[in-house]
Structure formats: C-alpha cells, structure tokens
Structure 1
C-alpha cells in the first residue's frame, strides 16, 4: 500500500491506519484490499494514489449554500454525539464498538463540512439524554433512522449546491450513510 489519499477528507491511508473504525463498515479493509477510507468512510473510488483533497471555491458559496453546510455540520455532530452516547448505553460489545466507530466517522463528516464552510467553532447542540433507550434494538433502530435522514439531507440539498466538488463530497458522504443504513439494519436482525 502506498500513498492512498482520500479526496473527501484529505487523510492518507497507510499500513498503520487502514483498520481504523473497521466496525463501521460492512466489509473490512485488509492490507491488500482497501475498500473504504478508515477516517470518513468514503468508498474506494475516492481513494487516489498520490491524490489530493477535493478543492472547492468557498468564495462562491452564497448564503443558502452556507446555511446548508452549517446544517450539515450540525446534523453530523448531532449524529456523532448520539453514537458516542449510544456506545455507552449499548449492551452488546459488538454494537458498542460499532457505535464508537460510527461516532468517529460522523465527527469526521462534521469536520469536512466545517472546512467547506470555513467554520472555526463547533456549533452548540442540545445535550440529549438517550438513557431511556435501554435496548440495543431501539438504539439500532434510532441509528438507522438517523442515517436515512442524513442520506435524504445530502440528496435533497446537493441540488442547491453549485460547486461540483462539494456535490461530489455530498455524494460520497451519502454513500457512506447508505452503508450505515445497511449496517444498522443488519445488526438489528443479528
């Protein structure tokens, strides 16, 4: 493996990190078969030998586009926070690990959006208490709903974004969230 770079998040994938967050993927990366960015979850087509992060023109973002990006940051932080808290509540160790990995992926998505929008601070979100959800099945059902909402968000608002590279980032993140739908649905029946 040499110098694979994720064009979505800009992170280099190498023999020391290819297994990060492996619990958040349907199929795990192996040293000889990289399928996903271990940081943001982007599929293989976004991992480029010697690649560079997608460049976008922040100055071309109008108020509506900035609002969309700002809401995307909040969506991903809200979901990352949910997974972080769900990992503590979950009973099954496999589900706990999956939620921990999903939290890291969602927080990376928020970081990507913050960079796009040029936002320096994390938004303040409501501190939610999920302790009443006392079964893994309920937590997985909630996770699946969140992922479906994220896919719908990216699909709806990518039409309002003019920058083609930001549209590509939305498409990549939507694919990641689609896999998370499958992953959380699969775990519900496991």
Structure 2
C-alpha cells in the first residue's frame, strides 16, 4: 500500500491504520482501496500520495467574522464528540457502542482541524451535559442524527460567509463527512 496523506487533517494513512474508526463509516476501507481518511473521514479526493495538509497561514490574518465561525465550529465538533463519547457508554448494543466511539474520535479530529485553522491552543470548556435520559439506542441514534444534520447546516451556511478558499474546502470536506454520519446514524443503518 502506498502511504497517503489526508490534506484535510494532515494524517498519514498506511497499512497499519487504514481501517481505524471503521465503525464510523458506511463502507470500509480496504488495504488496496482507501476511500476515506480513517481519522477525519474526508473522501478520496482529499487523500494524496506524498501530499501535505492544507495550509492556513497566519490565523491573525483571518477577519474577526471568520475567527468567530471557526471558534463556533470547534465548539460544535467538541460538543458532538463529547456526546458520542458519553453515548458510547450509555448504548446497549455493542455495535452501536463501537459506532459512537468511532464517531467521537472523528468529531474530535474535526475540532482539532478547526483549532489549527483558528490558531487556538486550548479546548473550550463546554457545559457538562447529562444524557442519561436517553435510555435507548434508538433515542441516542435519533439525537446523533439531529446533531449531524445541524453540523451539515452549519458548514453549508458558513461556507458562503468565509472568504478563504482553503477554509471553504475544509468546510466542504467536513460537510460531506457529516452527511455520511447522517446516513450512519439513521435508525435503519446502524441497528
């Protein structure tokens, strides 16, 4: 297998990690056919042999509106990552647990990408949420699907506001990942 670099998250994909987070995707990577980044979920068009991560330059040059959008994107992805982490502990079905664990790692990677774009060094402190009232896998999946739809709406809305073409490209890539997560968390796909 040739080593690939995901230009969205900068991670190297090789024969040891190509199937990482496989539960977080509808179709799995195979050693001789890598369709998605196992770390952030970006599709094949963002995977480049010998490539390097998209560069954002000096975050100080981003206008205040763009920085605010990126800051909110960090919070959105961490909030979703936290939800999936907790949902993986509440879920009853082992397959659903594994899906939520993988989605948690993917969402945290999205937050890491946004932190890099905005030049943020610390995670925001978000309010601790209690998800214990979601007492079935079906309810957890329904809540997950709503979160993914919100993320897609966020990226689509703000990709028309930001002017940086690299940020627009990242938003497009991550929106496509979140669209797949909508399909994955739709009740029929996971159970």
Instruction: Output the TM-score relative to the length of structure 1.
Output: 0.97
- Map Cα deviations across residues 46-90 of structure 1 (whole Å, 9 max, x no partner): 001111101124343100000000000000000000000000000
- Matched residue, 2:41: 41
Q: Check the 8 A contact 2:6/2:48 in 1, yes or no.
A: yes
Q: Check the 8 A contact 1:84/1:103 in 2, yes or no.
A: yes
**Cα offset, 1:2, TM superposition:** 1.4
- Matched residue, 1:73: 74
Matches of 2:61 and 2:88, distance apart in 1: 39
- Matched residue, 2:3: 3
Q: Check the 8 A contact 2:183/2:189 in 1, yes or no.
A: no
Number of residue pairs aligned between Structure 1 and Structure 2: 190
Q: Check the 8 A contact 1:141/1:188 in 2, yes or no.
A: no
Structure 1 unaligned segments of length 5 or more: list them.
none
Equivalent residue runs for 1:128-167 within 5 Å: 128-167=129-168
Matches of 2:74 and 2:188, distance apart in 1: 26
Instruction: Output the TM-score relative to the length of structure 2.
Output: 0.97
| SS of match in other structure, 1:150 | helix
User: Structure 1: which 4+ aligned runs deviate by more than 3 Å?
Assistant: 186-190
Q: Does 1:32 align with 2:7?
A: no
Matches of 2:14 and 2:78, distance apart in 1: 26
Matches of 1:186 and 1:6, distance apart in 2: 30
Q: Check the 8 A contact 1:161/1:167 in 2, yes or no.
A: yes
